Structure 1
Amino acid sequence: MASTAATVIVASMSLGGCVSTTSTSEVDSSQMSSSVDTDVRRRARIRLELAANYLQGGQPAVALDEVRQAISLDSSFVDAYHLRGLIYMQMNDLNQAEDSLNRAQSMRPNDPDIMHNLGWLLCEKQQFAKAEALFDQALAVPTYQGGNKTQMSKGICLVRAGKPDQAEPILMRAYELDAGNPIIGYEVAKLKFDKGDLKRAQFYVRRVNNGNYATAESLWLGIKIERGLGDPVAARQLADQLRKRFPDSKQMLAYERGAFNE
């Protein structure tokens, strides 16, 4: 399903776009009690940078250990709890992730990045109303730079909540602002497909599948759209890509079974 791919990519985007070891929201050095405190924060920051690098490199367990060391050095380091929440999300430990993100938000309640990540986590846990409220709170922060990402996540969450009509204008607006984003492109294509608008669905999914970020989900959607439009040649070409790039995917298995309506 689409949501599986979207979950992974959005979580990764949240890490890249939200975690900063030089956050302007942190307590500055003038508020620290001594140069010793400043040195402690510096060492904790180094640990956090290592943790972020390990997480980006696909080593969440090592990243978690680095974050623990950062927190042991400086238990007031908000970004460490924030990153710990993202690590637990990648490890699919959603309860621990929620605890960490709640801790971060309690320490810095007006941080829109934390609101975004906590909102996405609650969407993963199917707490849709709470997730939407957090997305809206993040979007209401005048200085927030990640609004389009949050609009996208809100739209995806509304789709999951069974509210495609509310999701569509949000995702279309996000697409207008970032037409090259493959997650948004896929989600818009899926919405159009589900509504029976196959020509518009074809337009959006082709842009995804012709780029560098095609997934098993987007190729499978493309196959179903081309079949629906009566173009077996295009459908076979997409199936060849699916077989070559994602031979063990559940989408490839569905194609081989002919399960086009599942």
Structure 2
Amino acid sequence: MKHCFLCLSMMLLVACAQTGPATGYDEPTNRSDPNSPAMLNVRMGVAYFERQDYDLALEKLKRAIAMDPKLAIAHSALALVYSTMGAGNEASKHYKASVKFAPNDPIILNNYGTFLCQQGDYKKALEFYQRTLANPFYKTPETVHENAGVCLMKDDLFDEAERHFRAALSVNPEMTVSLYNMAILSAGQDRPLKARAFIQRLSRLQALDERMLTVAYQVERKLGNENEANKYLTQLRKLK
């Protein structure tokens, strides 16, 4: 089963990466019978969250926890609702509970790492990302590497960020956030040929935004390719 509430959580990191995607979600293993009343309330809570009906989402998820206080997925979902509503303290409480009741579940650990990074606790976030990556059965390590890379970028740890972006791309060459940030890093480290390669790969997957068009323009100027530079400049002017 896949849930969109983690997709939305991941989208927040994508936005951070591009101002500086959404991915699938495998349900945590720490849960009760999928047809239990608690899990039914979790599913209803997620559905209400997707519709942005946060009050009903809270009601259903709180009911799930009342039925099964150790249900990690319910705590993780409730934490995301609170985080989306700006209730950081409540979100933190339930993320901690989810980790307490599913300490080895990589999905739970990744969720909490994402929250910590959004809160600016980068070092602790990286600890949880590393714990997630340590699980050999985690199905999408590239998303965790990408999250870790974004978090390290926000902490100005560029060499470590590059290592994670490259790891993500080695698993899935179409990770757009990793391509985006590798272009930024390569340009900033005076590696214009590498930057160009990442920009070209990214442009085959999505339209370039204003920041990336600016980088592309600067890279082509650096390489002495005025024709290509002017093409990017034209695209930039159309965005103004």
Give me the whole-angstrom Cα distance separating, in 2, the residues matched to 1:120 and 1:3: 8
Residue identity in the other structure for 2:230: P
Residue 5 of structure 2 aligns with which residue? none
CA contact (8 A) 2:32 2:39 kept: no
**Aligned-CA RMSD value:** 2.7
Report the CA distance between 1:53 and its aligned residue: 2.6
Partner of 2:9: none
Question: CA 1:168 to 1:110, structure 2 compared with 1: closer, same or farther past 3 Å?
Answer: same
Is residue 202–residue 226 contact of structure 1 (8 Å, CA) maintained in 2? Answer: yes
Q: Is the alpha carbon distance of 1:153 and 1:4 closer, same or farther for their aligned partners in structure 2, counting shifts above 3 Å?
A: closer
Deviation at 1:109, TM superposition (A): 1.2
Shift of 1:191: 1.4
Q: Which amino acid aligns with 1:107?
A: F
Relative to the length of structure 2, the TM-score reads 0.78
The one-letter code of the counterpart of 2:235 is Q
Q: Does 1:72 align with 2:66?
A: yes
Structure 1 unaligned spans of 5+: 29-37, 244-255, 257-262
User: Given that residues 48 and 80 in structure 1 are in contact (C-alpha distance below 8 angstroms), is that contact kept between their aligned partners in structure 2?
Assistant: yes
The structural deviation recorded for 1:99 is 1.1
Give the letter for the 2:143 counterpart: K
Retained in 2: the 8 A contact 1:226–1:232? no
**Which of 1, 5, 22 is the equivalent residue of 2:15?**
5
Summarize deviations over 1:118-151 as a string: whole Å, max 9, x none: 1121112222221111111111123222322111
- SS at the partner of 1:17? coil
User: Which amino acid in 2 is paired with 1:98?
Assistant: S
Shift in CA distance, 221/68, structure 1 to aligned 2, threshold 3 Å? same
Query: Are residues 154 and 4 of structure 1, via their aligned partners in 2, closer, same or farther at CA, if it must alter by over 3 Å?
Result: closer
Q: Could you tell me the TM-score, scaled by structure 1's length? A: 0.72
Which residue does 2:194 correspond to in 1?
200
Which runs of structure 2 are paired with 1:70-219 in the superposition (5 Å)?
70-212=64-206, 214=207, 218-219=208-209
Aligned to 1:224: 214
Equivalent residue number for residue 44 of structure 2:
50
1:4–1:64 Cα change, 3 Å: same
CA distance in 2, matches of 1:206, 1:239: 20
Provide the rounded CA distance (Å) in 1 between the counterparts of 2:88 and 2:95: 10
**Consecutive unaligned residues in structure 2, runs of 5 or more:** 1-11, 222-228
Q: Which of 1 and 2 has higher RCO (CA within 8 Å, sep 6+)?
A: 2
Give yes or no for the alignment of 1:17 onto 2:25: yes
> Partners of 1:210 and 1:171 in 2: how far apart?
18
Matched positions, count? 219
User: Secondary structure, in 3 states, of the residue corresponding to 1:26?
Assistant: coil
User: Percent identity of the aligned residues?
Assistant: 21
